[in-house]
Structure 1
């Protein structure tokens, strides 16, 4: 039995070990950021509130039922001169049930439903833009942690190299090849290198905190960066995609639609409204019951100019929305251009950085060999080492900027979404809640269905 348990334990250990030791990938970070983002939760709730506005607009087309139950007791005390005091009491109760519905109001009800639907679509586009921001933050946090880890490794290597240079300077001083000044220079360089290492470690701690804020947990062992997504071949193609489908542009388009509908709704304030009513009344004391139906045609003849002002306000809102749409297209196009330019700069910096590292490495190797022959001083060696370190750090930063730059271009185009990146997670379904509430359900079975949807969203 003990042997059997050992074998089973070994097998389980072999099965679990790869999972436990698995490095975190960029896709893992993106998924975690999506699942744990409070910003996404907040905007999903905003969208659900917009969905309920559509339900409210639908409910306004339906009859409104009210009931009123009345009951009372009264005492009468009359002082009659001929017969003395007299006290009488009476009680009354009644039940009234009424229903009212707007039969016609110039199409205001249907227009309100369409306007609410446009606001829902606008909120969905806004949520998609927030999703892009969350995923871009995850990419930036992941890449920055890796960058700072590499910078720390460079600084640690620099400390080791300068430590060796200090030992060599001391050995050469002992045999009289250099002066105490060379030793002091090496000691100063080592102190500066240790300070730079501490600063790099601090930057790594800051990057880890940012990673936790974005993904919900500190980074473990991070895997290498995957291949970046493909981009359009030209800036013009990227701008065309953004101007056509960026969430901010789509959001502005729906806002224009909603503003146009709101102007039409305001115009219905000048037309009469036809309402119908039904009432049932029961007087429990007399036993008399009554029922009735009625029609009411009403129109505001004069409201101090309020209706006209409301209509003009709605027209101004429509003009503002149209101008906002045009400005959104301009801003999105500008953002694509800026992101594209930054990406090109990063790519050029990588190539320049490679050449700089190669040249700095040759210079450092040459200076160090010349120092061994006495043709170079310790200061020359230390300066060459710092030049090489700076070149390597600059190349790493350029590579990180280029990588994040690709995702920035995607975000500026409106394509940095969970669906476009194929993250393989159950993304938020904006239609689920809307379909459940658009007919304005009240309670019972519909309420339970809404509870299930909300639980699914929370998961």
Structure 2
């Protein structure tokens, strides 16, 4: 990134670099404010919370298979018949209408634990989905950090460009005045005019970058940015990369999710094996039948035990067992791969943080050295030992160094929060944002017992759904 500057604007340029850490008004928006808004306004978080509620319902549905199943049936039948009695040449006909109403019920008594295994597998899937939600939360917050710092970065660039253009216009007018009195040549005027044109182009590009950064902020945070204040204290991070990797292996949501998926796959494999064994059910039936034409009525009922088991189903059950084993093996491999990826991400995040800090330190030194070089070049130009072009080049080096320092300051903040995300500690709770966090167990506790709408639990659940705007 290149800039043009004027000797008269040197002090303003130095002051501009310090704006990242300068005191600001009390109303300035902090990074914590932005993260709160991102957490509260994120549509991505809302989507994944709904997916978690869907997984919660899988537990209720699996549990329902262990409870009595009661159904009702009703039908009306119209019977008719006719006959011809041979030898007598006589036809007979009869009709009848019968209404039947019945209730049937069944209760699973024993299935070698298959449905219990499916319930436990559904619970493991719920726990895995909760970890997915945490991963999404980390992504949302890290994206907000990046958007926040990119707005600050581009605001600083626009301010530099605006000040640069203002001072170059003054220099251009001064050059034309000096040309009129013969103090400078036409070449000096042309160089000043060219610098103004380049500054205008640079300002337009910087304003475009800022507009895009604001759009990204609006998408990530859910609102327009206020007067942003650069972060002061960065998160406290351990310098021990290996220790950080050990923490990440224990608590990173991607690893915890993979572990839960392995457990669910193993339970599903055992359930598939149990499906090849018999099941014992208690059955009951109660019915009534009315002859509408004759007003005859009959009632019947039955209670019994039913033992069923597969004999031959075309190899489907055996295939399901093998499929479940393959899925279990795939989840185990995924756990191994996720562990490697998380460790690599931690190492990369620390490497990026070290590089960003080194770049910031180097940029500070570059600003200091470029300022000394510029002042020396300007003094030498007054004595005739340097040309106007030499001064402009020295100014350019100074402004490039100042711009790099602004960018490096932003990169350090982003890199620090990226380390937290790599470890698994970039959540609203870990950051103490002071916002009401989503409780993933609240909805689960309401539905885990599979309540029916007319029960007290079901009525409470109905209120929750209305509060969520789902009913």
TM-score > 0.5 by shorter chain: yes
Alignment of 1:394-409 (within 5 A): 394-409=404-419
- Structure 1 residue matching 2:317: 3-state secondary structure: helix
Q: Does structure 2 conserve the Cα–Cα contact (< 8 Å) formed by 1:332 and 1:412?
A: yes
Query: Which structure has the highest helix share of the two?
Result: 1
Contact 1:229 1:406 in 2 (8 A): yes
Is residue 437 of structure 1 aligned with residue 454 of structure 2? Answer: no
Contact 2:121 2:263 in 1 (8 A): yes
- Paired residue for 2:66? 61
> Which residue of structure 1 aligns with residue 365 of structure 2?
355
Give the Å deviation of 1:453. 2.4
Matching of residue 267 in structure 1 with residue 277 in structure 2: no
Deviations 1:361-385 (A, max 9, x none): 1122222232233322221121111
Q: List structure 1 runs of 4+ shifted beyond 4 angstroms.
A: 75-88, 455-459
- What's the Cα RMSD here? 2.0
Of 438, 449, 458, the match for 2:460: 449
Is the Cα–Cα contact under 8 Å of residues 162 and 189 in structure 1 kept in the other structure?
Answer: yes
Give the CA deviation at 1:458: 5.9
Deviation of 1:77 after TM superposition, in Å, equals: 5.8
Q: Is the 8 Å Cα contact of residues 149 and 230 (structure 2) preserved in structure 1?
A: no
Whole-Å separation in 2 of the counterparts to 1:454 and 1:110: 28
CA apart distance, 1:207: 0.5
Say whether residues 1:141 and 2:147 are aligned partners: yes
Instruction: Give the Å deviation of 1:270.
Output: 2.6
Aligned partner of 2:14 in structure 1 is none
The equivalent position to 1:281 in structure 2, one of 282, 287, 303, is: 287
Q: What does residue 15 of structure 1 align with?
A: none
- Whole-Å separation in 2 of the counterparts to 1:255 and 1:74: 57
Aligned to 1:91: 97
- Greater shift, 44-53 or 372-381, is seen at 372-381
Per mean C-alpha deviation after superposition, the further-off stretch among 428-437 and 81-90 is 81-90
Query: Which residue number in structure 1 is paired with residue 123 of structure 2?
Result: 117
405, 426, 445: which one aligns with 2:436: 426
Residue 73 (structure 1) aligns with: 78
Distance 1:458 1:327, change over 3 A: farther
Cα distance 1:141–1:95, how it changes in 2: closer, same or farther (>3 A)?
same
Q: How does 1:323-338 map to 2 (within 5 A)?
A: 323-338=333-348
Unaligned runs of 5+ in 1: 1-19
1:365 is matched with which residue? Answer: 375
Summarize the Cα distance change of 1:362–1:172 in structure 2 as closer, same or farther, 3 Å threshold. farther
Counterpart Cα distance in 2 of 1:321 and 1:224: 43
The alignment partner of 2:416 has SS state of helix
3-state SS in 1 of match to 2:429? helix
Matched, 1:43 2:48: yes
Cα distance in structure 2, aligned partners of 1:308 and 1:65: 31
1:179 corresponds to? 185
- CA distance in structure 2 between the aligned counterparts of 1:303 and 1:393, rounded to whole angstroms: 72
Query: Which TM-score applies when normalising by structure 1?
Result: 0.91
TM-score by length of 2: 0.89
Please, which of 338, 343, 353 is the counterpart of residue 343 of structure 1? 353
Q: Say which of 33, 44, 54 aligns to 1:28.
A: 33
Residues 169 and 378 of structure 1 are in contact (CA less than 8 Å); yes or no, is this contact kept in structure 2?
A: no
Q: Give the conservation status (yes or no) of the 8 Å contact 2:118–2:267.
A: yes
Q: Give 1:79 deviation, angstroms.
A: 7.0
* Cα distance in 2 between the residues matched to 1:458 and 1:92: 47
Aligned length: 440
Q: 1:171 & 1:238 partners in 2: Cα distance?
A: 64
Unaligned runs of 5+ in 2: 1-24
Work out whether 1:105 is the aligned partner of 2:111. yes
Q: Equivalent residues in 2 for 1:375-386 (5 A)?
A: 375-386=385-396
The Cα of 1:80 is off from its aligned counterpart by: 7.5
Between the aligned partners of 1:163 and 1:123, the Cα distance in structure 2 is: 59
| Mapped partners of 1:272, 1:98: distance in 2 | 21
Quote the Cα distance in structure 2 between the aligned partners of 1:202 and 1:427. Answer: 36
Whether the 8 Å contact between 2:127 and 2:260 is mirrored in structure 1 is yes
Deviation of residue 258 (structure 1)? 0.3
Deviations 1:37-78 (A, max 9, x none): 111111111101100000001001111101111223345566
Deviations 1:70-99 (A, max 9, x none): 223345566779697766432111211111
Out of 223, 228, 243, the residue aligned to residue 222 of structure 1 is 228
The 1:340–1:441 alpha-carbon spacing in structure 2 relative to 1, beyond 3 Å, is same
Matches within 5 A, 1:136-215: 136-215=142-221
- Rounded Cα–Cα distance in structure 2 between residues aligned with 1:340 and 1:174: 59
1:411 aligns with 2:421: yes
**What's the secondary structure of 1:427's corresponding residue?**
coil
Corresponding position of 1:10 = none
Task: State the alpha-carbon separation in 1 of the partners of residues 167 and 380 from structure 2.
Answer: 17
